[in-house]
Every structure is written in C-alpha cells, then in structure tokens.
C-alpha cells in the first residue's frame, strides 16, 4: 500500500473478500484484478530504480552452477553464480554472472491443454533448477481452477472466473439447472478448489455435457458490475451479460503447488540460488493451495529472500569465470511446425492422463509417451539453432515428466492428487514430500 497498491475499500475501510475454503472474509483485493494491480505497481517502482537493469526480450536457457571448493566447511557444495540467457532478437546466448540468483519465473500451466496461465508459463525455473541439481518437491500437486470460461474457440488461455464470485453468492448448476455442489460437500459452492473441480469433472463425465453453469443472475447487478469489472468485460467480449445469463464454465490448470524446494528464506538446495512465488515449493500451500494465498506467499517470501540475499552477499566467494556458450553442431534451422506439434502432444496427453482425476494406468501411459518425446526433443535441441520456443519446449517436457514421476510415487489421494487406484488418504504417517533431484543424494532443507 505504501508503494501505491490500491486495495478496494468500502465506506473508507479496507474491504475483505471471502473465497473457497475460507471460514471468513480475509482477503485484500483490488476489484477482481489484484495480481495485476500489485505487479503493475511493483514494475513501475523497479523502473524508477537507476541501479536495476531490466533485460527485456531475454530468455533463461540454463543456470551456471559449479561445486565451489573455496567455500568454507559449512557452505561446501554446489554454487549457482549466474545464468545463460538467450537474446530472442538475434539468437545470441551469453552468460550473466551474479552472486545471488532469484528464480521468480512463475508456474507451468502450459503443460496442460486448458489453463488460466499465459503462454509463457512453461515451467522454465523448475526445469533449469532441476537440470542444475536442485531438489524439486510436490510436483504432483497441480491445482485446477474449477471455474474458467468455456471457450468454444479452444483458445490456449481460458478466462479465469474468480472464486470471489462464488464468495459473493454465485451458484454452480448443471445445464439442466440443478445446483449440484450440495451433493458433493456441505460447504457447497464454497468448498475448496480440489473438491469443486472434481465435482464439476464428475458432472461433466456423468452427463456428457461440455460445461456447467455459474449462475449470478440472482445477485444485485450493480454489485456485480462494480466488484467484477474484468469478468463483466470478458463476458461482454463473448456477447452476453453475466448479470442476466449464467456463465459457461469448466476447470482448467491453474497453479503449480510444487516446485523448487526452499526453506523459509527462499533458499534452494544450491548455494546462491533462491526461488520465490509459484516456481518455489515452500510448503506453505500443502497439497492444495487456498485461494489468494499465492499472492500472500509471493510478497512474504520475496521479503524473506531479499534479507537472506543481503546476508549471503557478505560471505559469498568471488564469482568464477563463465565459459562462452557452445553452439557447435546446432546449425539446423528450427521448424515451427515440429515444435508446435510436440508441445500440443504434451499438453493434450497431460490433460487426458494426468489431469483432475488420475489412475496408475494413465500415469504409466503418460510416462511411456514422455520418454519418447524427451528423446525426440533432446535430439532436436542438440542439433537446432536456439529459439525461445525450443527453450520452452525443452522445459515443458521435463516438467511434465517431473509431474508424472511425482504422481506415481504417491500411493494415496491427498489434496490436488486424486487417484482412482488409491482413493483414500494415508493417515498412518505424517504427510511426506515427493522429492526429486538429478543428483543421487537429496540434500536436506532446513526450517521447512
């Protein structure tokens, strides 16, 4: 707020919203575009800082990591000291060195056919960290937002219909008009996201319908227009008024709860490498993130990581040199049709086999397909000139593989991971984290 973020107020007081899984209204918001408001204000402040250099049109290819024998006994191990970046305007790849690297690359919704995420959400941070040897945790817990606008044009990104709309009284109905959520949970339309998403998925499969209805027609139209201007605009673009006609909705991939495992200061298992926001797995979200907690996590852990970076810079050794990027053997021009075909195949396969409801057979089938795709994409990557699309495709197939491998290790249903072969939650032991690392040994993470 001191930076200029304008949270919504009513009668001069901060207005708190209630969303799915919440026992009371507790969420600060800016109408129905809170994230955009926070990000735009922060970007404006960053651009005002003369010491901050923004490299637009650049894409991270890989992290610069090496074991560093110069570190003292307590800090021996891998050390991240920079990134290789691709300038998308000319194809040049160069190293950028730094004493601390903070991954804030977001999630990987583009691994699924239907998603609320933008096209750049291809899991770049998780993939690069895993290749560098960092520990990655809980990738099986991928959240599907229960209500996104059904688009007959099958566009890549679905319009998200905020959960706050149900908090304001909207009701989910089948196409025949039945309010079906009371059959699935006593909290009805305000049940947590995993329950609502599975309920909608069940209704669609049971009835054979392509979508369900989100009915707001009983709510005061003035309240709808003032509190949800973005939804109002999206509906008008599709040719209808959501105060008079129900919105057609379906679930879509929304949030990656797992990611690069960190402690409470945002530190990964590699010295000098931090992760914050959706790319990180802090443990805060457990097996199912509550609505709006992602923004809370982002601002709190960013502050923690900034403080930790200041301490790390005092003890960090001098930066080693970085080798020039080798493009030897990569002289074939990339073919966009091949990249798009591979990406589409990954996304459709993940939607069909690794979606809201899973089974061991489906997961194993996905794993077999991904092994072939990984081989094909790796070969393509090694001989083809670099492009942002190729970087993202390489990351996409790795993240898909991490999700499937993590899901196969969990022999229970918990939160966002629901298996028809293991439909109950294992309460015989404390919840455990599915942890993956390219390295054989998994270093411990303190202060989880």
Extents of the domains making up the chain = 58-142+255-315, 148-251, 336-436
Give first-to-last CA distance, the chain, whole Å. Answer: 29
For the segment 348-380, what is each residue's pLDDT rounded down to a tens digit?
999 989 999 999 999 999 999 999 999 999 988
Confidence of residue 418 (pLDDT cuts 50, 70, 90): very high
Determine the CATH number of domain 336-436: 1.20.58.100
Q: Which residues contact 70 (CB under 8 A, 6 or more apart)?
A: 317, 318
Q: How far apart are CA 172 and CA 188, in angstroms?
A: 9
CATH class of 148-251: alpha beta
For the segment 199-223, what is each residue's pLDDT rounded down to a tens digit?
998 898 888 898 999 999 999 999 9
In angstroms, the Cα distances linking 62 to 83, 102, 104, 233, 247 are 6, 13, 14, 39, 42
Is residue 362 part of the annotated active site? The answer reads no
Is the pLDDT at 66 greater than 80? The verdict is yes
Q: How far apart are CA 243 and CA 145, in angstroms?
A: 22
Give the H/E segment covering residue 246: none
> Can you give the pTM of this predicted structure?
0.88
Residue 76 pLDDT: 57
Q: Which residues contact 342 (CB under 8 A, 6 or more apart)?
A: 373, 376, 377, 380, 393, 397
DSSP E strands in 18-170: the ranges are 27-28, 58-67, 78-87, 93-97, 101-103, 136-137, 142-149
Q: How far apart are CA 146 and CA 161, in angstroms?
A: 9
Is the pLDDT at 183 greater than 90? The verdict is yes
For the segment 377-409, what is each residue's pLDDT rounded down to a tens digit?
998 888 888 899 999 999 999 999 999 999 999
Confidence of residue 447 (pLDDT cuts 50, 70, 90): very low
Pick the more confident residue, 172 or 74. 172
The fold of the 58-142+255-315 domain, in CATH, is FAD/NAD(P)-binding domain (3.50.50)
Mean pLDDT estimate for the chain: 90
Directed axis angle between helix 336-353 and helix 388-409, to 10°?
20
Confidence of residue 440 (pLDDT cuts 50, 70, 90): low
Residue 231 pLDDT: 93
Is the pLDDT at 71 greater than 60? The verdict is no
Query: At 207, is the secondary structure helix, strand, or coil?
Result: helix
For the segment 275-289, what is each residue's pLDDT rounded down to a tens digit?
999 999 999 999 999
Residue 445 pLDDT: 40
For residue 250, the cross-strand partners are: 148
Q: Decide if 56 contacts 73 (C-beta within 8 A).
A: no
Which backbone phi and psi does 100 adopt, to 5 degrees? -135, 135
Is the pLDDT at 120 greater than 50? The verdict is yes
Q: Decide if 22 contacts 59 (C-beta within 8 A).
A: no
DSSP 8-class letter at 355: S
Average pLDDT over residues 116-133: 95
Q: Which residues contact 105 (CB under 8 A, 6 or more apart)?
A: 60, 124, 125, 126, 277, 279
Candidate list 166, 173, 193, 410, residue with the active-site label: 193
Q: Decide if 201 contacts 193 (C-beta within 8 A).
A: no
Q: Within 10 A of 29 (CB to CB), how many other CB atoms are there?
A: 21
Is the pLDDT at 156 greater than 70? The verdict is no
Pick the more confident residue, 446 or 254. 254
Residue 149 pLDDT: 92
Q: How far apart are CA 176 and CA 12, in angstroms?
A: 42
| Topology agreement, domain 58-142+255-315 and domain 336-436 | no
For the segment 10-45, what is each residue's pLDDT rounded down to a tens digit?
999 999 988 877 889 999 999 888 999 999 999 999
Is the pLDDT at 154 greater than 70? The verdict is no
DSSP 8-class letter at 322: -
Residue % of the chain over a pLDDT of 70: 93
Residue % of the chain over a pLDDT of 90: 71
Alpha helices by DSSP H, listed for 139-255, are: 164-167, 193-207, 221-227, 229-237
In angstroms, the Cα distances linking 21 to 156, 283, 290, 396, 414 are 28, 18, 7, 31, 16
């Amino acid at each position: 707020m001191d930076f200029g973020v304008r949270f919504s107020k009513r009668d001069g007081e901060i207005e708190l919203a209630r969303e799915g899984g919440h026992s009371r209204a507790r969420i600060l918001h800016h109408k129905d575009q809170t994230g955009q408001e926070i990000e735009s204000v922060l970007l404006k402040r960053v651009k005002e800082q003369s010491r901050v250099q923004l490299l637009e049109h650049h894409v991270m290819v890989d992290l610069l990591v090496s074991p560093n024998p110069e570190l003292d006994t307590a800090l021996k191990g891998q050390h991240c000291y920079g990134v290789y970046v691709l300038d998308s305007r000319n194809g040049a790849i160069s190293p950028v060195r730094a004493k601390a690297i903070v991954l804030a690359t977001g999630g990987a919704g583009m691994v699924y056919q239907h998603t609320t995420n933008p096209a750049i959400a291809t899991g770049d941070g998780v993939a690069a960290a895993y290749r560098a040897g960092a520990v990655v945790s809980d990738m099986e817990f991928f959240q599907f937002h229960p209500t996104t606008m059904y688009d007959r044009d099958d566009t890549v990104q679905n319009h998200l219909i905020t959960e706050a709309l149900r908090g304001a009284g909207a009701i989910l109905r089948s196409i025949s008009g039945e309010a079906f959520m009371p059959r699935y949970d006593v909290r009805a339309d305000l049940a947590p996201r995993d329950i609502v998403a599975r309920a909608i998925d069940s209704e669609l499969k049971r009835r054979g319908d392509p979508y369900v209805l989100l009915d707001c027609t009983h709510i005061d139209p003035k309240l709808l227009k003032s509190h949800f201007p973005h939804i109002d605009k999206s509906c008008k673009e599709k040719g209808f008024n959501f105060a008079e006609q129900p919105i057609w909705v379906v679930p879509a991939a929304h949030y990656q709860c797992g990611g690069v495992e960190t402690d409470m200061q945002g530190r990964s298992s590699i010295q000098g490498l931090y992760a914050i926001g959706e790319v990180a797995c802090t443990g805060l979200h457990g097996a199912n993130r509550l609505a709006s907690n992602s923004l809370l996590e982002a601002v709190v852990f960013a502050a923690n990581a900034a403080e930790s970076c200041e301490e790390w810079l005092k003890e960090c050794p001098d930066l080693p040199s970085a080798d020039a990027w080798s493009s030897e053997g990569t002289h074939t021009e990339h073919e966009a049709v091949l990249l798009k075909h591979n990406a589409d195949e990954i996304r459709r396969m993940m939607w069909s086999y690794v979606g809201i409801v899973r089974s061991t057979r489906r997961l194993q089938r996905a794993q077999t397909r991904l092994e072939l795709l990984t081989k094909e994409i790796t070969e393509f990557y090694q001989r083809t000139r670099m492009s942002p699309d190729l970087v993202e495709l390489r990351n996409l197939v790795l993240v898909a593989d991490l999700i499937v491998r993590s899901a196969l290790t969990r022999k229970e249903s918990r939160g966002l991971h629901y298996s028809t072969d293991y439909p109950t939650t294992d309460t015989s032991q404390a919840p455990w984290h599915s942890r993956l690392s390219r390295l054989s040994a998994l270093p411990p993470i303190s202060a989880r």
